[in-house]
Amino acid sequence: MASLCDAAWPLIEAHPDTRAQQQVLKDKLGDNYRDLCSLILRNVFLIELVKVPKIESTKVRVRWYEQLGGDSRQCSFEECLAIAAQLLTELHAWLQDPRHEELIKLFFAESILPYEAPLDYREHPARDDVVTRIHRLGNVSWVYDDLMLRTLKLRKFLRAGETSPDAEFFKRVLDDKIKIKTYLTDRALTGPYKTNREKRWETHPHSVQFATRRTCLEIEYKLVTQLCAFEGFPPGARDLLQAQAILPERHEVFRCPVTQESLSFPLFREALLNPQHGKSEFQIGHLNPLKLDEPGSDIVGHTADNISWISEDGNRIQGPLSLTNVRQLLRRIAANYDQLGIV
């Protein structure tokens, strides 16, 4: 990335629309200005594509790479240059809001993904739209909402040794569990859009694996707040997070959505820090599995409403069923046991 910045960034700074912004941004961002160069180049000019045809791994490519021919994610070098110039031009005004400045600086300091940034698509093509490109001038912009800021504040609090109840553990859980299940696609080898650990917003927008950055941040926040509601989570840490308005004030012990048994924070900590090969007692799953994509369902896709921590037993019971269907099945089983007098 350093070599790419040296070669490509002067082209962006030479753009007539950006010249008036450069010095004020350098003064405002200081050492982070170099980080800004990297994250704009990575998120505008490059994409991490799954390799075809084996779908074994991913490789970073330019947006005009031949594999993207006719694809919604394709973009010419000239248009990428225009997008980058537009982002740089708009950034100074966007940073006038102190919350925006706090957010981007938290991304620089607290990222869990390379080149993570408050950038997102304004909209993405509908399932029946095969013409509109998602990666285009005017559709990539700086974004902010209060939940994004709370998510980054929560991430910082839990990873910092001076504030976290267990910094080592939370660094591990964010990197080993939440990052993978939140931000990276599943390994899907069937269907029209095959995936294997790309960034969610870089897979095809018609894929059930697709999600915007904002949606992924919502999912991270939900999973971390659920974890903070596990039975046995340090109450002093929760009180402090609630006092700073990072966590909701109301709190109930979190339960597995299938078994309805409470999940234990001390047991989860032990399982994460001292794992046993082939065993995972605490998992993350979609309440309606993505491959179902049930017509008419209110909860579909990779969204905060459709994802949750789940116990090993709950995950085994659910299998490929939706949460609604597995609960119906459990009620039928319970009714059969009652009717037959089986204890």
pTM recorded for the entire structure: 0.93
The pLDDT of residue 21 is above 90: no
Which pLDDT belongs to residue 250? 79
Give the β-pairing of 119-121 and 58-62: unpaired
Q: Span 5-30, mean pLDDT?
A: 87
For the chain, the first-to-last Cα distance in angstroms comes to 64
> What are the domain boundaries of the chain?
181-343
Lowest mean pLDDT among 193-207, 233-247, 281-295: 281-295
Residue owning tokens 């947006």: 63
The three-state DSSP-derived secondary structure of the chain is CHHHHHHHHHHHHCCCCCCCCHHHHHHHHCCHHHHHHHHHHHHHHEEEEECCCCCCCEEEEECCCHHHCCCCCCCCHHHHHHHHHHHHHHHHHHCCCHHHHHHHHHHHHHCCCCCCCCEEECCCCCCCCCCCCCCCCCCEEECCCHHHHHHHHHHHHHHCCCCCCCHHHHHHHHHHHHHHHHHECCCECCCCCCECCCEHHHCCCCCCCCCCHHHHHHHHHHHHHHHCCCECCCHHHHHHHHHCCCCCCCCCCCECCCCCCECEHHHHHHHHHCCCCCCCCEEEEECCCCCCCCCCCCCCCCCHHHEEEEEHHHHHHHCCCCHHHHHHHHHHHHHHHHHHCCC
Work out the angle at residue 89's Cα, subtended by the Cα atoms of residues 85 and 94, and round it to the nearest 5 degrees.
135
| Confidence band of 17 (pLDDT split at 50, 70, 90) | confident
| Confidence band of 133 (pLDDT split at 50, 70, 90) | very high
Phi and psi for 63 in degrees, rounded to 5? -70, -15
Which pLDDT belongs to residue 195? 94
Q: Span 288-310, mean pLDDT?
A: 80
Which pLDDT belongs to residue 244? 85
Residue type, 93: A
Residue 10: C-alpha distances to residues 16, 37, 104, 108, 279 (Å): 12, 10, 22, 22, 51
HSE of 104 in the Cβ direction (CA atoms, 13 Å)? Answer: 23
The pLDDT of residue 293 is above 90: no
**Cα separation of 189 and 231, whole Å?**
37
**Cα separation of 9 and 230, whole Å?**
46
pLDDT digits (tens, 9 = 90+) for 96-117: 999 999 999 999 999 999 999 9
**Cα separation of 294 and 304, whole Å?**
17
The pLDDT of residue 132 is above 60: yes
**Cα separation of 227 and 191, whole Å?**
33
Phi and psi for 210 in degrees, rounded to 5? -70, 145
pLDDT digits (tens, 9 = 90+) for 214-272: 999 999 999 999 999 999 999 988 888 888 888 888 779 999 999 999 999 999 999 99
